[in-house]
Chains A and B, each alone.
Chain A
Amino acid sequence: MSDTPRAGKPRIATCSLAGCFGCHMSLLDIDERIFELAELVEFDRSPIDDKKKFDGRVEIGLIEGGCCNEENVATLREFRRHCDVLVALGDCATMGGAPALRNDIPLAECLREAYLEGPTVHNPERRLPADPELPLLLDRVYPIQEVVPVDVFLPGCPPSAEAIWQALVALIEGRAPELPYELLKYD
């Protein structure tokens, strides 16, 4: 680890890998407590403040989504390197979620159906996406704990705003989050 700890408020970084940004929406759904959160923490690398790169140590990293391509894996590893506590935020991070519905179908078959043979496909040149800008797909979608060690799991599709709030407050105060029965949900 190259980062040295920084003075000031704890920092939070977030990202959405193979997710739908629903978990980020649920984070915003804490409503006016977002002001309280802004008092408690500093947002670091996150789509919320549009910061694109890490430039130091971050206390809490929230990962939405699993890994469906090589870029997801690189981003996830970068988060693991820079964050003290890594949180799997939502079902896609903890079990693959809807993107993982493709996991029992071979990748070539998925691409064939999506770009060549699906009933609504219009692709007269019969080309599969192959631009070098596009990250390569993995053979299947991986839950993040199958790629890097993960410290905290918040399941849910999405985890409720209350669950995210309680977990964040616990982490900021240096405690392990313990969700009450009604906040532990897989839907």
Chain B
Amino acid sequence: MSGTVTITVDGREIETREGRTILQACDEAGVWIPRLCAHPELSVYGSCRVCTCLVDGRAAAACVQPVRHGMVVESDSERVNELRRTIVELLFVEGNHFCMVCEKSGDCELQALAYRLGITHPRFAYMFPERPVDAGHPDLMLDHDRCVMCGRCVRAAAELDGKPELGFLGRGIHRRVGADGGAGLAGTALRGDDRVATICPTGALLRKRVGYRTPYGRRRFDHAPIGSAAAAGDGEER
């Protein structure tokens, strides 16, 4: 049948369609690949590289790599997970991730990835950058300390809420999410009940006054690693 292609992921044959990315094909087949910036409701982006796989022996991000017939993908192996571990450790040291006081702890996808990958500490020195908090909005808060530049909020505001008011400012290590051209969230039309308010994988963009409601032991990632539900066929992780 035209348009149907077969790829092999960790030795398992997956039938999918031309035009799919590796990540989409695997999600549809119930094979979970770790990811951070990719989200089923949002356009393909490819910034975090957590979904890195070895594709025909070369490292590639599964969320942006289109499938091709006969492609051989290595995902859940020690050497690929070691690449992912390094990426996640780098994300931890370049921000200020104080899990012990963060209201997203237990429900945070960055933390959950680190748990799943068995990270007890990063092998790199912490940078402790200076990043101010934008708390001026009545219902939302933007804590740049916890931002991993995945761009989910930028895409969600534009694509799901129809309010393209978030963007990136600056370059390189100085890059940050900017609201209202850098003036702050308060000047935007974003609201606490917009989709953007709950799209952040970490605790960077938060709704105010809803933190710490779920007790320890009943949070999303307290008992089972991120990806367990998706791999068991219970649908998307989020």
Binding site for B on A (CB under 8 A): 88, 91, 94-98, 100-101, 103-105, 140, 143, 145-146, 150, 153-155, 157, 179, 181-182, 184-187
Contact = CB atoms under 8 A, between A and B. Distances in A.
Nearest to A187: B105
Interface residues of B, number: 29
B44 interface: no
A155 B101 contact: no
A186 B119 CA distance: 10
A153 B106 contact: no
Contacts of B225: 181
Could you say which of B92, B100, B114 has the most chain A C-beta atoms within 10 Å of its C-beta?
A: B100
Contact of A187 (B99, B118, B129): B99
Given A104-B96, A186-B100, A95 B114 contact: no
B210 interface: no
Interface in B94-143: 96-102, 105-106, 111, 114-116, 118, 120-122, 125-126, 128-131
Could you say which of B98, B101, B111, B225 has the most chain A C-beta atoms within 10 Å of its C-beta?
A: B98
Contacts of B120: 94, 153-155, 179, 184
Main secondary structure of the interface of B (DSSP, over half): loop
A20 to B, nearest CB: 11
Interface in B74-109: 92, 96-102, 105-106
A88 B111 CA distance: 19
